[in-house]
Amino acid sequence: MTRFWLVRHGPTHQKAFTGWRDVPADLSDAAALTRLATYLPQQAHVTSSDLIRSVATADAIAQGRPRLPARKDLREFDFGVWDGLHFSEVAARDAELSRRFWEEPGDIAPPNGESWNAVTDRVTAALIDIGQTQTASDIVVVGHMGMIMTMIAQCGGTPYQAMGHQIDNLSVTDMTFHLNRWEIGTINHLA
């Protein structure tokens, strides 16, 4: 049994789609980082997406925990041509597609980007691989809002329902993978 502690990276202050663009996190709130690090299991191993906002957040909260390599397969959605555009620009550019992307999450993808199902498959495979190759029963994974939402849906419910959850920066969503089944714990805990 592996318990995953999914942590959303620190805030980026972006006002646009931010997928694979490599923008830094604001990690100036030392008290919040300390509370988060204290909340997480001390014996846990720590990994992250390979994007700088996740790597830097993971480094800031590791505090002596074993640090596993960062992984590309833990990245946020690839928003393709939408990455870097404001939500209103995307709605104007691709009105029908952008509406369906949010209202019918599944196989619909932004131009040159990834669908909900593609991200779910990618992130699920990464977490299962981590769980099978690590001896730790607790794994902290610093990643992104979208990847966390896809895993919430893996624990039950629909993708549309999962998108209804708030996933704050520096929040923790924990889940367990046991006997090929996902079980949700707490969603969006702020320490």
Residue 29's CATH number: 3.40.50.1240
Determine the structural domain holding residue 155 and report its residue range.
2-46+61-136+151-164
φ, ψ for residue 185 (rounded to 5)?
-110, -115
Q: Is residue 21 part of a domain?
A: yes
Q: Is residue 26 part of a domain?
A: yes
- The one-letter amino acid code at 90 reads V
pLDDT of the residue at 179 = 81
Q: Is residue 27 part of a domain?
A: yes
Total structural domains within the chain: 1
Which tokens belong to 152?
A: 């919430």
3-state secondary structure of 72: helix
- The one-letter amino acid code at 55 reads V
Half-sphere exposure of 112 (CA within 13 A, CB side): 6
- Closest among 116, 120, 103 to 164, alpha carbons compared: 103
Inter-residue contact 56 to 123 (CB < 8 Å): no
Q: Is residue 175 part of a domain?
A: no
* pLDDT, tens digit only, all 191 positions of the chain: 899 999 999 999 999 999 999 999 999 999 999 999 999 999 999 999 999 999 999 999 999 999 999 999 999 999 999 999 999 999 999 999 999 999 999 999 999 999 999 999 999 999 999 999 998 899 999 999 999 999 999 999 899 999 999 999 999 999 999 888 999 999 999 99
Q: Is residue 179 part of a domain?
A: no
Helical ranges in the chain per DSSP H: 30-39, 52-62, 87-93, 95-103, 116-133, 145-154, 159-162
Q: Is residue 109 part of a domain?
A: yes
Using CA atoms, how far apart are residues 54 and 117, in angstroms rounded to an integer?
22
Q: Is residue 189 part of a domain?
A: no
Q: Is residue 185 part of a domain?
A: no
